[in-house]
Amino acid sequence: MSCKIKIVGASQQTFILQASDFAFEDFNGVKGRNRFTAVPKLTERIASQLVKPFMFDYVGGHVSNIRTSADISDTMVNLVRGILGLFHVTVKTTQRIYELEEASIHGVCPSHYATEVNEETKDMTVTKVVDVNNCREKAAIYKGLATAVVDDAGKQRGESVVSTVKGAYTVKPTAEGGLITRARGREQQHFSPFNVKGGNFKMEATNEMVLLSVNDTVGAVESGPMQGKGNLVFKFTDAEINLPIVMQNLEDPITKAAELIKHLAAANRYQVDSTTSEDTIRLYQLLRAMPYEGLDILWKQFAGNEEQRRWFLDMIVEINDARILKFLQARFQARDVSVTEAWQTLLLTFNHLQTDAALVELAQMFLDMPFCKSDVDLWHTVVLSYGSLVYKHCAYTTPCPVATVQPLLDMAMESLRIGNHDDMVVALKALGNAGHPGSLKTIMRFLPGVAATPVDLPPRVLSAAVQSMRLIAARDPLSVQDITMSLFLQKNNPTEIRMLAFLILFDTKPSMAVVSIVTVHLQEEKNLHVISFAYSYLKSVSRSSTPNNHFLSTACNVAVKILGPRYSRLSYHYSKAMHMDWFNDDFLIGTTAEVFMLRSATNIFPTEILMKGEFHFIGRILQLMELGIRADGLQELFANGIPGFKGDISFSDFQAILNVLKNWEVLPDDKPVLSAYSRASGQEWFFADFKKETIQEIVKFFSQSAGKGSLLWAVIENLQKGVSWHRTKPFLIVEVRYFQATILGLPLEISKYYETINGISVNATASINPPLTERLGQLFTSDISLETDGFIGYTKDFWVYYGINTELFQCGSEFKAKTPVAIPWRFSAKINIAKKKFELDFPPCEKQFNLLSFSSNVYAVSRNIEEPGLDKRTPIIPDSNNEDVQKASTPQSDRILTRNKWTQKDKMCVESNIYGAGVCVEYDLRREFYHDEYPLYYFLGYTRMALKVVPAQATTAVDKIHFEVNAGPSSHPASAQELLETLSQVGDSTSEAVFNVNAFALSGNKNPEGYNAVFYYTPEGAKKNQLIVSHVQENSNWKICIDTSVKASVGATANIKWGAECQSYEMSITSETAHLPGTQPTITAKIHWTRMPEKVTRACTRLESYIPGMALLLNFSQKQEKNDVQEISASVNASSADGIDVRIQFPEYTVFRQAIPFPMPPVVLQGFQHDNTTMDSFGRA
């Protein structure tokens, strides 16, 4: 961009700016081969606004109070701010180096100045560096992933964005003070999705102004009515509408949105059309651009069409402001949406809603709507979703008003007053989602030993109360530490509650002093479950490598050294906690996985099982999916023990458990048998209590005695008539955006979008012979036939955008990845349950199709609103044969960088000429990188991979592929029996053919070709099994024979022979366990071969060549020694309670490693004795 500007003084401190000769050019191509090109229509559009007068105040080198005509857009005002920023400078003649905080286009930031005077011309050169990384009020916005916790420790490992801003001014002294004759600005930014140290995108913005002339003012400039536009600080506008990855004309958005919904619904009706996935982003933009009335118009248009109605409701959740709340309010009040539609739409709406205070207040109306309370699942969704909205609001508002969480506090107190346990759980879970420190006093009223008034509440309520502090732990760690420490130290509290309190305590990242207090109390603890849970958690966290646990892992390591001698041998029958993680400094990413199993002293089943994961990325921690299960009812069922239970995990043990489960009808009606919940991004979005009534309904549904009135009977009747069903679900999984002002007055944006379209389509027709007449149990003696075809799949699109984004134009770098998965099917099935026979017939493969593919590339993109259909894009890594050496682009360096090109393209297929089908894997990778750059270049360049099914040349034309399983063979097939007697292995009279499998290609009246497999079992003595697979074809005698033998607690052997009558090749595999008194447990395994095919030998030789390198990476040692030339053996020895020794012997060498960290479940607890120790009813120490 370039222009001439004229500044006229309106008064001593007020001036008027006008621009002329404006020009706009864009560059999209390869440096050296392409050039800047003019964009005349956009130039004309911008020039028509810049030519109008802009008034501003200028005092002491500072710009303020910008005014212009009301019809001038904020984008134009920001461009003028970029121009005026060149005049914004603080000059001090008494100091050569000085620092101060001042307002600039980047916000209120520290500025560092240095001045130098030219002794000949007396001109002063002023250099200014703005520290945009430490602004008190920064002109930047972060949107999306408010539930991702900021990880300050992770930021210390590296940054993904680094910016520098520098200005240089030449000031000529005058009688009035000074005249700026030249001003230059330069802003550089380095960005990477990973650590900027490992390669990055570089953005450079420069602007320069040169004084052409100074003239006396003649006449006044006509300015007209003016409207205040603020100071020099950049103003962000229309961020929600200006999506960075699309550019389209937003006029008449209602009509365009209607057309897109119809198009998407039709194109994805029977399968997912991967070419339409980008259209969903366009539709989101149109919906955000339309007025509220547009939603009403579209609803009336689509409400009567089931397919288009679903698409409309799925897409409007991304409007994310007051319009969607008002629309849902109207629908809920009219009750013209189903409960299922209501909870799905409201769940996504609340989780994608903007988080300003007005919207939070408006969302409270759903807590009082009768429709929301008409269904339990819908009510749960409303309350939990409101809690999530409060949490996100508080993430950007400090301090967060208590008024936002007050409705939930009122619900909790009312439930406690009336004693409704179900309402208590709902309110507490919602408070847990909100994570508001102001709710701690209310939560404390539900906690034993903490509440001012003693409480007697069931374990599931206490569990919900403790877990409701999980997010407050990061916002008010000291208060949560006080509460959870008190709960943990009170030995009369339920064991489960103490362990949950321990977890929340460590979520606060306690100091070494707090961990020391816990350690001291654990040394005096008598409850083995509490000891086992706490010690296993401390031990696993002591190995943590993630930045957020840097100091905590050190404290836990000290605690483990103190507690280890006494508690390291606790049995796995006790409560356990497991924490595993990894982190990579180059990528600034890592993952964490945790599993918690909470047991009580009186029951075989765990009280509660929790599983969760975290994803660490560039200074933030995102909690992934979390699952939790409680078994209150089952515990009550097993409270009196299990008659016949031995604890050796044998079949008789499972039978004993089943015998107790048959008594489920004695459970109380009002207590849950089983409870489950799920959380995503730390927010609980689903929970359910399965009571006795639920089990009764399930039993009734599948009951053999059920007749025509049952639900399953109706399902079967519909199947016999023919069923056609399909669903499509678009979903914007991630929308994360970061905006930052630049010296040009243009917004720089870094955005990530992750969109998916999921689809399933099913057509099915069944027939039953003889037909059902009285009860469902007749199915077990009928022949059931099923014809079905359909599709299941999805398309996922992922974008990363880095560049300038306004409503007028976009220019930057864009990473685009697409992953379509498509699994079509068509087959017929025949089932006879009484005969234990199952058959499938598939049509022949006639054309190829992709099962899975992935493609990605990185482009330089430019778009403008005057030509929205002209999407210019050039691959960042061009597919060309340019020179292999080029100079670095940075002007400060003349060093030569060597450009490396790497391409790999291949296609590998496995085809069967029997079935006339094959599977192919193909890939095409193109990369270009420099020798001194790192991880970013792994991803730059063209990538395409695909897994596809292809037709193959068959020996004979295939009519269909027949698959059959027969689990009720009465005798051995003749050929297999003859082979058994010939091999004389398990061919005795006690061998039983358990089942056989056929996989044949059928062609007219010709004999079937394919494979037959028969599985034999010998029940007496050692458990012996044999599998014989035969190639069924004329003149073929190829077979594979696998014999296995298992001895309980000793080991297992497998002998494998294959080739002609199983005689050509042979190998064996053996494994043994040993645990003699006074020794450590040992597992040994051995692979021995006598004859092997040449192809297998070559493949194994190639594979073995990688072993030394892999062993070195895994910290194994290597010793050259001669071992058995036809054998590979390995041994694993439990050398300690938390470590193993591994030794692997190859023919030419041995690799080994000692003391590999690995938690083992030893049987004996040594050196630990306490009186009154809590023990399991069946557990052993």
**Local confidence band at 980 (pLDDT 50, 70, 90 cut-offs):** low
Strand-strand pairing, 872-875 and 849-864: antiparallel
Q: Give pLDDT tens digits for 95-113.
A: 999 999 999 999 999 999 9
With the CA atoms of 541, 546, 547 and 548 taken in that order, what torsion angle do they form, in degrees rounded to the nearest 10? Answer: -50
- The 3-state DSSP class for residue 895 equals coil
- Give the per-residue pLDDT at 383: 97
Cβ burial of 174 (10 Å; 0-12, 13-18, 19+) is: exposed
What value does the mean pLDDT take over residues 250-269?
A: 96
- Give the per-residue pLDDT at 879: 61
Task: Please count the residues of the chain.
Answer: 1181
Distance CA 879, CA 875 (A): 8
pLDDT at 891 over 50: no
- Give the per-residue pLDDT at 1169: 34
**Local confidence band at 1106 (pLDDT 50, 70, 90 cut-offs):** confident
pLDDT at 1103 over 90: no
What value does the mean pLDDT take over residues 25-50?
A: 91
Considering Cα of 412, then 417, then 418, then 419, what sign does the dihedral take? positive
- Give the per-residue pLDDT at 32: 81
- Give the per-residue pLDDT at 1177: 30
Closest CA to 1147 of 1124, 1119, 1117: 1124
**Local confidence band at 896 (pLDDT 50, 70, 90 cut-offs):** very low
What value does the mean pLDDT take over residues 234-248?
A: 91
pLDDT at 1042 over 80: yes
Copy the structure tokens of residue 880: 């060309």
What value does the mean pLDDT take over residues 966-980?
A: 60
For 264-333, the DSSP string reads HHHHTSSS--GGGHHHHHHHHHHHHHS-HHHHHHHHHHHTT-HHHHHHHHHHGGG--SHHHHHHHHHHHH
- Give the per-residue pLDDT at 1020: 63
What value does the mean pLDDT take over residues 459-467?
A: 95
Closest CA to 980 of 994, 993, 996: 993
Q: Give pLDDT tens digits for 790-847.
A: 999 999 999 999 999 999 999 999 999 999 999 999 999 999 988 899 999 999 999 9
What value does the mean pLDDT take over residues 667-691?
A: 89
Copy the structure tokens of residue 1145: 């012997």
- Give the per-residue pLDDT at 1178: 29
Please state the pTM of the whole predicted model: 0.89
Q: Give pLDDT tens digits for 851-882.
A: 999 999 999 999 999 999 888 999 987 665 44
**Local confidence band at 219 (pLDDT 50, 70, 90 cut-offs):** low
Greater confidence, 478 or 900?
478
- Work out the angle at residue 1097's Cα, subtended by the Cα atoms of residues 1091 and 1101, and round it to the nearest 5 degrees: 140
- Give the per-residue pLDDT at 632: 79
Closest CA to 484 of 471, 495, 473: 473
- Work out the angle at residue 470's Cα, subtended by the Cα atoms of residues 465 and 471, and round it to the nearest 5 degrees: 125
Q: Helix 692-702 and helix 711-721: axis angle, to 10°?
A: 40
Q: Give pLDDT tens digits for 632-665.
A: 777 777 777 778 777 655 567 777 777 777 777 7
**Local confidence band at 1164 (pLDDT 50, 70, 90 cut-offs):** very low
The answer to whether the CB of 498 falls within 8 A of the CB of 449 is: no
User: Which letter does DSSP use for residue 184 in this model?
Assistant: E
**Least confident piece of the model among 544-558, 564-578, 868-882, 1003-1017:** 868-882
**Local confidence band at 1165 (pLDDT 50, 70, 90 cut-offs):** very low
pLDDT over 70, % of the chain: 91
| Those residues with Cβ within 8 angstroms of residue 33's Cβ, 6 or more apart along the chain or in another chain | none
Distance CA 606, CA 739 (A): 48
- Give the per-residue pLDDT at 1004: 86
- Give the per-residue pLDDT at 619: 84
Q: Which residues pair with 896 in a beta bridge?
A: 887
The answer to whether the CB of 180 falls within 8 A of the CB of 128 is: no
Distance CA 522, CA 204 (A): 58
The answer to whether the CB of 783 falls within 8 A of the CB of 830 is: yes
> What does the radius of gyration of the chain's CA atoms come to, in whole angstroms?
36
pLDDT at 604 over 70: no
**Local confidence band at 679 (pLDDT 50, 70, 90 cut-offs):** very high
- Work out the angle at residue 951's Cα, subtended by the Cα atoms of residues 947 and 957, and round it to the nearest 5 degrees: 155
Q: Give pLDDT tens digits for 77-92.
A: 999 999 999 999 999 9
pLDDT at 971 over 60: no
Secondary structure of 993-1012 in the HEC alphabet? EEEEEEEEEECCCCCCEEEE
- Give the per-residue pLDDT at 1140: 87
Strand-strand pairing, 747-769 and 723-741: antiparallel
pLDDT at 959 over 90: yes
- Give the per-residue pLDDT at 549: 94
pLDDT at 414 over 50: yes
**Least confident piece of the model among 188-202, 369-383, 999-1013:** 188-202
Greater confidence, 114 or 881?
114
CA end-to-end distance (rounded Å), the chain: 77
- For residue 755, give the amino acid letter: E
Provide the strand spans (E) within 471-517: none
Distance CA 432, CA 426 (A): 10
**Local confidence band at 699 (pLDDT 50, 70, 90 cut-offs):** confident
Closest CA to 1017 of 1041, 1040, 991, 996: 991
Distance CA 612, CA 601 (A): 25
Q: Helix 512-523 and helix 550-567: axis angle, to 10°?
A: 10
**Least confident piece of the model among 419-423, 496-500, 1089-1093:** 1089-1093
Number of H helices, E strands in the chain: 27, 45
Question: Cis link prior to 399 (omega < 30° from 0)?
Answer: yes
Distance CA 182, CA 200 (A): 32
pLDDT over 90, % of the chain: 66
- Give the per-residue pLDDT at 1041: 95
Residue 541 to residues 157, 475, 537, 1134, Cα–Cα distance (Å)? 20, 22, 6, 21
Q: Average pLDDT of the chain?
A: 88
pLDDT at 254 over 50: yes
- Give the per-residue pLDDT at 1138: 66
Distance CA 537, CA 622 (A): 21
What value does the mean pLDDT take over residues 288-317?
A: 96
CB atoms within 10 A of CB 833: 13
**Least confident piece of the model among 168-172, 444-448, 634-638, 1142-1146:** 634-638
Distance CA 1004, CA 994 (A): 31
Considering Cα of 90, then 95, then 97, then 100, what sign does the dihedral take? negative
pLDDT at 37 over 80: yes
Q: Give pLDDT tens digits for 525-542.
A: 999 999 999 999 999 999
The answer to whether the CB of 386 falls within 8 A of the CB of 430 is: yes
Copy the structure tokens of residue 365: 């109306």
**Least confident piece of the model among 109-118, 149-158, 519-528, 867-876:** 149-158
**Local confidence band at 1173 (pLDDT 50, 70, 90 cut-offs):** very low
- Give the per-residue pLDDT at 886: 39
**Least confident piece of the model among 187-191, 430-434, 652-656, 1110-1114:** 652-656
- Give the per-residue pLDDT at 750: 93
**Local confidence band at 914 (pLDDT 50, 70, 90 cut-offs):** very high
| Those residues with Cβ within 8 angstroms of residue 616's Cβ, 6 or more apart along the chain or in another chain | 151, 154, 546, 547, 548, 583, 588, 589, 590, 591, 592, 622
Question: Cis link prior to 1147 (omega < 30° from 0)?
Answer: no
Strand-strand pairing, 201-210 and 1051-1060: unpaired
pLDDT at 128 over 90: yes
Distance CA 1121, CA 1125 (A): 11
Distance CA 308, CA 324 (A): 18
The answer to whether the CB of 1116 falls within 8 A of the CB of 1146 is: no
